[in-house]
Structure 1
Amino acid sequence: MSLNGKTAVITGSNSGIGLGVARELARAGADVVLNSFTDRDEDHALAAEIGKEFGVTARYIKADMSKGDECRQLIADAGKCDILVNNAGIQHVAPIDQFPVEKWDAIIAINMNSAFHTTAAALPLMRAAGWGRIVNIASAHGLTASPFKAAYIAAKHGVVGMSKTVALETAQEPITCNAICPGYVLTPLVEAQIPDTMKEYNMSREDVVKNVMLTRQPSKEFATVEQLGGTTVFLCSDAAAQITGTTISVDGGWTAL
Protein backbone atom coordinates (compact mmCIF):
# COMPACT_ATOMS: atom_id res chain seq x y z
CA MET A 1 0.00 0.00 0.00
CA SER A 2 2.66 2.50 -1.04
CA LEU A 3 1.57 6.12 -1.10
CA ASN A 4 4.90 7.41 -2.38
CA GLY A 5 4.52 10.67 -4.26
CA LYS A 6 1.15 11.50 -2.72
CA THR A 7 0.54 14.47 -0.44
CA ALA A 8 -1.91 14.14 2.44
CA VAL A 9 -3.50 17.04 4.32
CA ILE A 10 -4.87 16.05 7.73
CA THR A 11 -6.88 18.60 9.70
CA GLY A 12 -6.60 18.69 13.48
CA SER A 13 -3.48 16.56 13.42
CA ASN A 14 -1.02 17.74 16.05
CA SER A 15 -2.41 15.19 18.55
CA GLY A 16 -4.79 12.27 18.99
CA ILE A 17 -6.49 10.58 16.04
CA GLY A 18 -5.26 13.11 13.50
CA LEU A 19 -1.64 12.62 14.50
CA GLY A 20 -2.05 8.84 14.43
CA VAL A 21 -3.49 9.03 10.92
CA ALA A 22 -0.73 11.36 9.76
CA ARG A 23 1.94 9.00 11.07
CA GLU A 24 0.46 5.97 9.31
CA LEU A 25 0.12 7.88 6.03
CA ALA A 26 3.75 8.95 6.35
CA ARG A 27 4.74 5.36 7.14
CA ALA A 28 3.09 4.39 3.84
CA GLY A 29 5.25 6.96 2.05
CA ALA A 30 2.95 9.97 1.73
CA ASP A 31 4.20 13.49 2.30
CA VAL A 32 2.03 14.99 5.04
CA VAL A 33 0.69 18.37 6.05
CA LEU A 34 -0.20 18.62 9.73
CA ASN A 35 -2.66 21.23 10.94
CA SER A 36 -4.20 22.82 14.00
CA PHE A 37 -5.18 26.30 15.16
CA THR A 38 -1.95 26.92 17.11
CA ASP A 39 1.38 28.00 15.68
CA ARG A 40 3.93 26.86 18.23
CA ASP A 41 7.53 25.77 17.79
CA GLU A 42 6.53 22.29 18.95
CA ASP A 43 3.93 22.04 16.16
CA HIS A 44 6.60 22.58 13.52
CA ALA A 45 9.02 20.34 15.41
CA LEU A 46 6.44 17.56 15.39
CA ALA A 47 6.19 17.74 11.61
CA ALA A 48 9.99 17.71 11.33
CA GLU A 49 10.17 14.60 13.54
CA ILE A 50 7.66 12.75 11.35
CA GLY A 51 9.53 13.73 8.21
CA LYS A 52 12.79 12.47 9.64
CA GLU A 53 11.33 9.24 11.03
CA PHE A 54 9.62 8.16 7.82
CA GLY A 55 11.77 9.86 5.19
CA VAL A 56 8.97 12.02 3.80
CA THR A 57 8.29 15.73 3.52
CA ALA A 58 6.22 16.86 6.50
CA ARG A 59 4.99 20.37 7.17
CA TYR A 60 2.77 22.07 9.71
CA ILE A 61 0.32 24.75 8.57
CA LYS A 62 -1.75 26.77 11.04
CA ALA A 63 -5.41 27.20 10.13
CA ASP A 64 -8.50 27.68 12.30
CA MET A 65 -11.07 25.10 11.19
CA SER A 66 -13.90 27.23 12.58
CA LYS A 67 -13.27 29.75 9.79
CA GLY A 68 -14.17 28.82 6.25
CA ASP A 69 -11.61 31.07 4.60
CA GLU A 70 -8.80 29.55 6.66
CA CYS A 71 -9.97 26.02 5.79
CA ARG A 72 -9.70 26.86 2.11
CA GLN A 73 -6.40 28.67 2.58
CA LEU A 74 -4.96 25.54 4.23
CA ILE A 75 -5.45 23.64 0.98
CA ALA A 76 -4.06 26.53 -1.06
CA ASP A 77 -0.99 26.74 1.19
CA ALA A 78 -0.47 22.99 0.94
CA GLY A 79 -0.19 23.45 -2.82
CA LYS A 80 -0.98 19.79 -3.46
CA CYS A 81 -3.65 17.60 -1.91
CA ASP A 82 -3.98 14.05 -3.19
CA ILE A 83 -5.37 12.81 0.13
CA LEU A 84 -7.62 14.89 2.37
CA VAL A 85 -8.42 13.66 5.87
CA ASN A 86 -11.04 15.78 7.60
CA ASN A 87 -10.43 15.02 11.25
CA ALA A 88 -10.70 18.28 13.23
CA GLY A 89 -13.37 18.20 15.90
CA ILE A 90 -14.50 19.40 19.31
CA GLN A 91 -17.18 18.24 21.74
CA HIS A 92 -19.56 19.72 24.31
CA VAL A 93 -22.12 17.86 26.41
CA ALA A 94 -25.37 19.48 27.60
CA PRO A 95 -29.15 19.03 27.34
CA ILE A 96 -30.42 20.63 24.14
CA ASP A 97 -32.51 23.24 25.96
CA GLN A 98 -29.40 24.30 27.88
CA PHE A 99 -26.91 23.91 25.03
CA PRO A 100 -24.86 27.15 24.68
CA VAL A 101 -25.48 28.66 21.26
CA GLU A 102 -21.80 29.52 20.84
CA LYS A 103 -20.86 25.88 21.51
CA TRP A 104 -23.41 24.67 18.96
CA ASP A 105 -22.05 27.08 16.35
CA ALA A 106 -18.42 26.13 17.04
CA ILE A 107 -19.08 22.38 16.87
CA ILE A 108 -21.02 22.65 13.61
CA ALA A 109 -18.31 24.89 12.14
CA ILE A 110 -15.32 22.76 13.14
CA ASN A 111 -16.80 19.26 12.93
CA MET A 112 -18.86 19.66 9.75
CA ASN A 113 -18.50 22.95 7.90
CA SER A 114 -14.71 22.67 7.78
CA ALA A 115 -15.04 19.44 5.78
CA PHE A 116 -17.20 21.24 3.23
CA HIS A 117 -14.67 24.03 2.78
CA THR A 118 -11.57 21.82 2.57
CA THR A 119 -13.26 19.37 0.21
CA ALA A 120 -14.46 22.15 -2.08
CA ALA A 121 -10.92 23.53 -2.22
CA ALA A 122 -9.20 20.16 -2.63
CA LEU A 123 -11.31 18.63 -5.39
CA PRO A 124 -9.91 20.83 -8.19
CA LEU A 125 -6.38 19.81 -7.16
CA MET A 126 -7.35 16.13 -7.14
CA ARG A 127 -8.98 16.43 -10.56
CA ALA A 128 -5.91 18.15 -11.96
CA ALA A 129 -3.74 15.35 -10.57
CA GLY A 130 -6.07 12.64 -11.88
CA TRP A 131 -6.42 10.92 -8.50
CA GLY A 132 -7.79 11.66 -5.06
CA ARG A 133 -8.92 10.25 -1.75
CA ILE A 134 -11.14 12.01 0.79
CA VAL A 135 -11.45 10.35 4.18
CA ASN A 136 -13.76 11.97 6.70
CA ILE A 137 -13.31 11.00 10.33
CA ALA A 138 -16.92 10.82 11.47
CA SER A 139 -17.93 8.77 14.53
CA ALA A 140 -20.18 5.99 15.71
CA HIS A 141 -22.27 9.05 16.55
CA GLY A 142 -22.54 9.68 12.82
CA LEU A 143 -24.66 6.52 12.67
CA THR A 144 -26.39 6.46 16.05
CA ALA A 145 -27.13 8.86 18.89
CA SER A 146 -26.66 9.51 22.59
CA PRO A 147 -28.34 12.09 24.81
CA PHE A 148 -26.79 15.49 25.54
CA LYS A 149 -24.58 15.55 22.42
CA ALA A 150 -26.94 17.22 19.95
CA ALA A 151 -24.39 19.37 18.13
CA TYR A 152 -21.74 16.66 17.81
CA ILE A 153 -24.25 14.08 16.58
CA ALA A 154 -25.84 16.51 14.14
CA ALA A 155 -22.40 17.40 12.77
CA LYS A 156 -21.21 13.81 12.44
CA HIS A 157 -24.44 12.70 10.77
CA GLY A 158 -23.90 15.63 8.41
CA VAL A 159 -20.36 14.50 7.63
CA VAL A 160 -21.62 11.00 6.76
CA GLY A 161 -24.28 12.46 4.46
CA MET A 162 -21.82 14.84 2.80
CA SER A 163 -19.41 11.93 2.22
CA LYS A 164 -22.12 10.12 0.24
CA THR A 165 -22.87 13.20 -1.84
CA VAL A 166 -19.22 13.85 -2.69
CA ALA A 167 -18.83 10.18 -3.62
CA LEU A 168 -21.74 10.42 -6.06
CA GLU A 169 -20.37 13.61 -7.58
CA THR A 170 -16.97 11.96 -8.18
CA ALA A 171 -18.20 8.42 -8.93
CA GLN A 172 -16.90 8.38 -12.52
CA GLU A 173 -13.55 9.89 -11.58
CA PRO A 174 -10.51 8.28 -9.90
CA ILE A 175 -11.54 9.98 -6.65
CA THR A 176 -13.25 8.37 -3.66
CA CYS A 177 -14.86 9.77 -0.54
CA ASN A 178 -15.64 7.72 2.55
CA ALA A 179 -16.23 8.19 6.26
CA ILE A 180 -14.57 6.28 9.08
CA CYS A 181 -16.78 5.96 12.14
CA PRO A 182 -14.71 5.26 15.27
CA GLY A 183 -16.11 4.27 18.61
CA TYR A 184 -14.11 5.18 21.68
CA VAL A 185 -10.45 5.65 20.82
CA LEU A 186 -7.55 5.61 23.25
CA THR A 187 -6.03 9.04 22.76
CA PRO A 188 -3.90 11.00 25.23
CA LEU A 189 -7.01 13.03 26.11
CA VAL A 190 -8.99 9.90 26.96
CA GLU A 191 -6.05 8.35 28.79
CA ALA A 192 -5.82 11.43 31.00
CA GLN A 193 -9.48 11.03 32.04
CA ILE A 194 -9.04 7.50 33.36
CA PRO A 195 -7.38 8.28 36.75
CA ASP A 196 -10.07 10.81 37.72
CA THR A 197 -12.81 8.39 36.70
CA MET A 198 -11.17 5.66 38.79
CA LYS A 199 -11.34 7.95 41.83
CA GLU A 200 -14.90 9.05 41.08
CA TYR A 201 -16.24 5.49 40.92
CA ASN A 202 -13.70 3.88 43.25
CA MET A 203 -12.89 1.34 40.58
CA SER A 204 -9.80 -0.26 39.11
CA ARG A 205 -8.55 0.92 35.73
CA GLU A 206 -9.85 -2.27 34.11
CA ASP A 207 -13.34 -1.84 35.59
CA VAL A 208 -13.50 1.85 34.65
CA VAL A 209 -12.55 1.09 31.06
CA LYS A 210 -14.93 -1.85 30.64
CA ASN A 211 -17.89 -0.79 32.75
CA VAL A 212 -17.89 3.00 32.54
CA MET A 213 -16.05 4.25 29.46
CA LEU A 214 -16.81 1.35 27.13
CA THR A 215 -20.35 0.49 28.20
CA ARG A 216 -21.56 0.84 24.59
CA GLN A 217 -18.54 -0.81 22.95
CA PRO A 218 -19.15 -4.59 22.94
CA SER A 219 -15.48 -5.50 22.45
CA LYS A 220 -14.68 -3.69 25.73
CA GLU A 221 -11.49 -2.49 24.07
CA PHE A 222 -10.57 0.95 22.79
CA ALA A 223 -9.79 1.43 19.14
CA THR A 224 -6.29 2.82 18.65
CA VAL A 225 -5.07 5.74 16.58
CA GLU A 226 -2.84 3.30 14.71
CA GLN A 227 -5.87 1.24 13.70
CA LEU A 228 -7.64 4.33 12.42
CA GLY A 229 -4.49 5.31 10.55
CA GLY A 230 -4.30 1.84 9.02
CA THR A 231 -7.94 2.04 7.94
CA THR A 232 -7.20 5.39 6.31
CA VAL A 233 -4.20 3.97 4.46
CA PHE A 234 -6.37 1.11 3.19
CA LEU A 235 -9.00 3.55 1.88
CA CYS A 236 -6.23 5.36 0.02
CA SER A 237 -4.93 2.16 -1.59
CA ASP A 238 -5.75 0.66 -4.98
CA ALA A 239 -7.56 -2.15 -3.14
CA ALA A 240 -10.19 0.40 -2.09
CA ALA A 241 -10.62 2.09 -5.47
CA GLN A 242 -14.25 0.91 -5.69
CA ILE A 243 -15.07 1.72 -2.08
CA THR A 244 -16.77 5.11 -2.09
CA GLY A 245 -19.73 6.76 -0.44
CA THR A 246 -19.77 4.42 2.52
CA THR A 247 -18.88 4.25 6.18
CA ILE A 248 -16.38 1.95 7.87
CA SER A 249 -17.06 1.43 11.55
CA VAL A 250 -14.06 0.96 13.82
CA ASP A 251 -16.13 0.70 16.98
CA GLY A 252 -15.73 -2.76 18.53
CA GLY A 253 -19.28 -3.69 17.50
CA TRP A 254 -21.03 -0.59 18.90
CA THR A 255 -23.22 0.02 15.83
CA ALA A 256 -24.01 -3.69 15.48
CA LEU A 257 -26.26 -3.48 18.54
Structure 2
Amino acid sequence: MSEAALVTGAASGIGRAVAERLVADGWQLLSVDVEPDTSGPGEPFAADLATREGNRAAVDAALERFGRLDAVVPNAGFQHVAPVESFDEDRWDALLALLLTSPFLLSRYAWPALRASGNGRIVVVASVHGLVASPFKAGYVAAKHGVLGLVKTLALEGAADGIRASAVCPGYVRTPLVARQIADQARAHGIPEERVLEEVLLAPQALKRLLEPAEVADVVAYLLGPGGASFTGAPLVLDGGWTAR
Protein backbone atom coordinates (compact mmCIF):
# COMPACT_ATOMS: atom_id res chain seq x y z
CA MET A 1 0.00 0.00 0.00
CA SER A 2 1.34 3.46 -0.91
CA GLU A 3 2.35 5.94 1.74
CA ALA A 4 -0.18 8.43 3.09
CA ALA A 5 0.18 12.15 3.66
CA LEU A 6 -1.86 14.99 5.08
CA VAL A 7 -1.54 18.44 3.50
CA THR A 8 -3.24 21.51 4.95
CA GLY A 9 -4.36 24.56 3.02
CA ALA A 10 -4.70 22.25 0.04
CA ALA A 11 -7.54 24.01 -1.79
CA SER A 12 -5.36 26.62 -3.50
CA GLY A 13 -1.90 28.09 -3.91
CA ILE A 14 1.10 26.20 -2.60
CA GLY A 15 -1.02 23.61 -0.81
CA ARG A 16 -2.90 22.76 -4.00
CA ALA A 17 0.37 22.41 -5.92
CA VAL A 18 1.84 20.17 -3.21
CA ALA A 19 -1.30 18.02 -3.19
CA GLU A 20 -1.23 17.65 -6.97
CA ARG A 21 2.45 16.69 -6.94
CA LEU A 22 2.07 14.10 -4.19
CA VAL A 23 -0.92 12.46 -5.85
CA ALA A 24 1.04 12.35 -9.11
CA ASP A 25 3.88 10.68 -7.19
CA GLY A 26 1.51 7.96 -5.95
CA TRP A 27 0.77 9.13 -2.42
CA GLN A 28 -2.55 8.57 -0.69
CA LEU A 29 -3.55 12.08 0.33
CA LEU A 30 -5.90 13.87 2.68
CA SER A 31 -6.38 17.41 1.36
CA VAL A 32 -7.36 19.57 4.33
CA ASP A 33 -8.83 23.06 4.12
CA VAL A 34 -11.46 25.11 5.85
CA GLU A 35 -13.37 24.96 2.54
CA PRO A 36 -11.89 21.98 0.66
CA ASP A 37 -12.13 21.67 -3.10
CA THR A 38 -14.02 18.44 -3.71
CA SER A 39 -12.75 18.35 -7.30
CA GLY A 40 -9.13 18.74 -6.26
CA PRO A 41 -6.39 16.17 -5.73
CA GLY A 42 -6.63 13.70 -2.88
CA GLU A 43 -9.51 13.12 -0.51
CA PRO A 44 -10.97 16.42 0.71
CA PHE A 45 -11.51 17.10 4.40
CA ALA A 46 -12.90 20.23 6.03
CA ALA A 47 -11.31 21.34 9.29
CA ASP A 48 -10.84 24.50 11.30
CA LEU A 49 -7.11 24.28 11.97
CA ALA A 50 -7.25 27.22 14.36
CA THR A 51 -8.73 24.80 16.91
CA ARG A 52 -7.39 21.73 18.70
CA GLU A 53 -10.45 19.78 17.61
CA GLY A 54 -9.89 20.59 13.95
CA ASN A 55 -6.27 19.47 13.98
CA ARG A 56 -7.08 16.24 15.80
CA ALA A 57 -9.97 15.54 13.44
CA ALA A 58 -7.69 15.93 10.40
CA VAL A 59 -5.17 13.41 11.75
CA ASP A 60 -7.93 11.01 12.79
CA ALA A 61 -9.52 11.27 9.33
CA ALA A 62 -6.24 10.39 7.60
CA LEU A 63 -5.75 7.35 9.83
CA GLU A 64 -9.35 6.24 9.35
CA ARG A 65 -9.21 6.51 5.57
CA PHE A 66 -5.70 5.18 4.94
CA GLY A 67 -4.86 3.14 8.03
CA ARG A 68 -1.50 4.90 8.24
CA LEU A 69 0.10 8.32 8.12
CA ASP A 70 3.65 8.76 6.84
CA ALA A 71 3.92 12.49 6.25
CA VAL A 72 2.37 15.73 7.48
CA VAL A 73 2.71 18.95 5.48
CA PRO A 74 1.41 21.96 7.46
CA ASN A 75 0.91 24.65 4.87
CA ALA A 76 -2.31 26.52 5.72
CA GLY A 77 -1.92 30.21 6.37
CA PHE A 78 -3.03 33.76 5.73
CA GLN A 79 -1.53 37.23 5.95
CA HIS A 80 -2.38 40.46 7.77
CA VAL A 81 -0.54 43.67 6.93
CA ALA A 82 -0.67 46.55 9.43
CA PRO A 83 1.61 48.66 11.63
CA VAL A 84 2.21 47.33 15.14
CA GLU A 85 0.29 50.15 16.81
CA SER A 86 -2.87 49.27 14.87
CA PHE A 87 -2.28 45.54 14.35
CA ASP A 88 -5.56 43.81 15.12
CA GLU A 89 -5.16 41.64 18.21
CA ASP A 90 -7.59 39.00 16.99
CA ARG A 91 -5.62 38.73 13.73
CA TRP A 92 -2.46 38.21 15.80
CA ASP A 93 -4.10 35.36 17.71
CA ALA A 94 -5.42 33.80 14.51
CA LEU A 95 -2.05 33.98 12.75
CA LEU A 96 -0.24 32.24 15.60
CA ALA A 97 -3.00 29.65 15.90
CA LEU A 98 -2.83 28.67 12.23
CA LEU A 99 0.85 29.20 11.39
CA LEU A 100 2.47 28.00 14.62
CA THR A 101 0.07 26.13 16.90
CA SER A 102 -1.50 24.05 14.12
CA PRO A 103 1.86 22.56 12.99
CA PHE A 104 2.58 21.70 16.62
CA LEU A 105 -0.82 20.07 17.14
CA LEU A 106 -0.68 18.13 13.87
CA SER A 107 2.78 16.85 14.79
CA ARG A 108 1.68 15.94 18.30
CA TYR A 109 -1.43 14.06 17.21
CA ALA A 110 0.31 12.34 14.27
CA TRP A 111 3.43 11.36 16.23
CA PRO A 112 2.43 7.75 17.04
CA ALA A 113 1.52 7.09 13.40
CA LEU A 114 4.70 8.74 12.14
CA ARG A 115 6.72 6.60 14.55
CA ALA A 116 4.91 3.48 13.37
CA SER A 117 5.71 4.41 9.77
CA GLY A 118 9.41 4.01 10.44
CA ASN A 119 9.99 6.83 7.96
CA GLY A 120 7.77 9.60 9.27
CA ARG A 121 8.23 13.07 7.84
CA ILE A 122 7.02 16.51 8.79
CA VAL A 123 7.61 19.24 6.21
CA VAL A 124 6.34 22.65 7.24
CA VAL A 125 5.78 25.22 4.51
CA ALA A 126 7.31 28.18 6.31
CA SER A 127 8.62 31.31 4.60
CA VAL A 128 11.68 33.43 4.10
CA HIS A 129 9.95 35.45 6.82
CA GLY A 130 11.00 32.71 9.21
CA LEU A 131 14.57 33.98 8.67
CA VAL A 132 14.15 37.70 8.07
CA ALA A 133 11.55 40.33 8.90
CA SER A 134 9.53 42.85 6.92
CA PRO A 135 7.64 45.82 8.34
CA PHE A 136 3.89 45.64 8.93
CA LYS A 137 3.83 41.84 9.31
CA ALA A 138 4.36 41.35 13.04
CA GLY A 139 2.07 38.33 13.40
CA TYR A 140 3.20 36.47 10.28
CA VAL A 141 6.91 37.04 10.90
CA ALA A 142 6.66 36.05 14.57
CA ALA A 143 4.75 32.86 13.72
CA LYS A 144 7.14 31.85 10.93
CA HIS A 145 10.19 32.44 13.13
CA GLY A 146 8.50 30.33 15.81
CA VAL A 147 7.69 27.45 13.51
CA LEU A 148 11.35 27.10 12.52
CA GLY A 149 12.16 26.67 16.21
CA LEU A 150 9.43 24.05 16.41
CA VAL A 151 10.93 22.18 13.44
CA LYS A 152 14.32 22.05 15.18
CA THR A 153 12.75 20.58 18.30
CA LEU A 154 10.70 18.05 16.33
CA ALA A 155 13.84 16.94 14.51
CA LEU A 156 15.80 16.40 17.72
CA GLU A 157 12.98 14.51 19.42
CA GLY A 158 11.99 12.56 16.32
CA ALA A 159 15.36 11.20 15.24
CA ALA A 160 15.25 8.23 17.59
CA ASP A 161 11.77 7.34 16.28
CA GLY A 162 12.73 7.61 12.61
CA ILE A 163 10.85 10.90 12.23
CA ARG A 164 12.42 13.73 10.23
CA ALA A 165 11.23 17.34 10.39
CA SER A 166 12.18 20.12 8.03
CA ALA A 167 10.82 23.33 6.58
CA VAL A 168 10.60 25.02 3.19
CA CYS A 169 11.22 28.77 3.19
CA PRO A 170 10.17 30.36 -0.09
CA GLY A 171 10.16 34.02 -0.97
CA TYR A 172 7.04 35.47 -2.53
CA VAL A 173 5.01 32.91 -4.49
CA ARG A 174 2.35 33.60 -7.10
CA THR A 175 -0.64 32.67 -4.92
CA PRO A 176 -3.98 34.20 -3.89
CA LEU A 177 -2.43 34.99 -0.48
CA VAL A 178 0.18 37.23 -2.11
CA ALA A 179 -2.33 38.80 -4.49
CA ARG A 180 -4.65 39.70 -1.61
CA GLN A 181 -1.99 41.69 0.23
CA ILE A 182 -1.17 44.07 -2.62
CA ALA A 183 -3.74 46.67 -1.54
CA ASP A 184 -2.73 46.42 2.12
CA GLN A 185 0.94 46.82 1.22
CA ALA A 186 0.14 49.87 -0.89
CA ARG A 187 -1.69 51.51 2.01
CA ALA A 188 0.99 50.61 4.55
CA HIS A 189 3.81 51.95 2.37
CA GLY A 190 1.88 54.89 0.92
CA ILE A 191 2.43 53.93 -2.71
CA PRO A 192 0.15 52.95 -5.63
CA GLU A 193 -0.74 49.26 -5.94
CA GLU A 194 1.05 48.91 -9.28
CA ARG A 195 4.38 49.74 -7.58
CA VAL A 196 4.07 47.17 -4.79
CA LEU A 197 5.47 44.16 -6.66
CA GLU A 198 8.67 45.84 -7.78
CA GLU A 199 9.29 48.24 -4.90
CA VAL A 200 8.15 46.15 -1.94
CA LEU A 201 7.71 42.44 -2.60
CA LEU A 202 10.63 41.78 -4.94
CA ALA A 203 12.91 44.57 -3.72
CA PRO A 204 15.02 42.35 -1.40
CA GLN A 205 15.43 39.53 -3.95
CA ALA A 206 18.32 39.20 -6.37
CA LEU A 207 16.03 37.35 -8.81
CA LYS A 208 13.20 39.72 -9.62
CA ARG A 209 10.36 37.29 -10.11
CA LEU A 210 7.70 35.51 -8.12
CA LEU A 211 8.10 31.81 -7.48
CA GLU A 212 5.49 29.47 -8.90
CA PRO A 213 3.59 27.14 -6.54
CA ALA A 214 4.87 24.11 -8.47
CA GLU A 215 8.47 25.10 -7.65
CA VAL A 216 7.70 24.92 -3.94
CA ALA A 217 5.86 21.63 -4.46
CA ASP A 218 8.96 20.19 -6.12
CA VAL A 219 11.02 21.00 -3.02
CA VAL A 220 8.43 19.49 -0.67
CA ALA A 221 8.34 16.34 -2.79
CA TYR A 222 12.14 16.15 -2.69
CA LEU A 223 12.19 16.39 1.11
CA LEU A 224 9.54 13.67 1.34
CA GLY A 225 11.42 11.40 -1.05
CA PRO A 226 14.67 9.41 -0.85
CA GLY A 227 16.77 12.45 -1.69
CA GLY A 228 15.61 14.19 1.47
CA ALA A 229 16.71 11.42 3.82
CA SER A 230 19.44 13.52 5.45
CA PHE A 231 17.41 16.70 5.82
CA THR A 232 16.12 17.29 9.33
CA GLY A 233 15.98 20.21 11.73
CA ALA A 234 16.75 22.87 9.13
CA PRO A 235 14.99 24.99 6.52
CA LEU A 236 15.51 24.61 2.80
CA VAL A 237 15.50 28.14 1.44
CA LEU A 238 14.32 29.15 -2.04
CA ASP A 239 14.19 32.92 -1.81
CA GLY A 240 15.72 34.24 -5.02
CA GLY A 241 18.73 35.54 -3.12
CA TRP A 242 16.74 37.48 -0.48
CA THR A 243 18.76 36.26 2.51
CA ALA A 244 22.08 36.70 0.68
CA ARG A 245 22.01 40.37 1.69
**Is this a same-fold pair by TM over 0.5?**
yes
2:118 maps to: 130
How many residues are treated as equivalent by the alignment? Answer: 236
Distance 2:160 2:44 in 1: 33
Shift of 1:235: 0.4
Q: Tell me: CA distance 1:142–1:233, structure 2 relative to 1, closer, same or farther (3 Å).
A: same
1:175 paired to 2:163: yes
TM-score if structure 2 supplies the norm length? Answer: 0.89
Q: Residues 111-135 of structure 1, C-alpha deviation per residue, up to 9 Å, x if partnerless?
A: 1100011010111101112221100
Counterpart contact for 2:130–2:147, Cα < 8 Å: yes
1:54 maps to: none
Q: Residues 73-105 of structure 1, C-alpha deviation per residue, up to 9 Å, x if partnerless?
A: 100111132110000111111121211111111
Letter in 2 for 1:164: K
TM-score if structure 1 supplies the norm length? Answer: 0.85
Counterpart contact for 2:182–2:193, Cα < 8 Å: no
Tell me the C-alpha RMSD between the 2 structures: 2.2
Q: Tell me: CA distance 1:92–1:194, structure 2 relative to 1, closer, same or farther (3 Å).
A: closer
Q: Tell me: CA distance 1:104–1:166, structure 2 relative to 1, closer, same or farther (3 Å).
A: same
Letter in 2 for 1:64: D
Q: 1:108 aligns with which of 96, 107, 110?
A: 96
Q: SS at 1:171's partner residue?
A: helix
Q: Residues 7-52 of structure 1, C-alpha deviation per residue, up to 9 Å, x if partnerless?
A: 110011100011011111112111111111126xxx2122xxx3xx
Letter in 1 for 2:50: S
Following superposition of structure 1 onto structure 2, how do residues 229-240 of structure 1 map, counting pairs within 5 Å? 229-240=217-228
2:43 maps to: 59
1:76 maps to: 60
Q: SS at 2:39's partner residue?
A: helix
1:45 maps to: 39
Letter in 2 for 1:45: S
Counterpart contact for 1:64–1:70, Cα < 8 Å: yes
Counterpart contact for 2:62–2:69, Cα < 8 Å: yes
Unaligned stretches of 5+ residues in structure 2:
none
Q: SS at 2:160's partner residue?
A: coil
Distance 2:89 2:179 in 1: 29
Percent identity over the alignment is 40
Following superposition of structure 1 onto structure 2, how do residues 1-257 of structure 1 map, counting pairs within 5 Å? 5-38=2-35, 43-46=37-40, 50=41, 58-79=42-63, 80-190=68-178, 201=192, 209-257=197-245
Distance 1:194 1:149 in 2: 13
Unaligned stretches of 5+ residues in structure 1:
51-57
Distance 1:190 1:147 in 2: 15
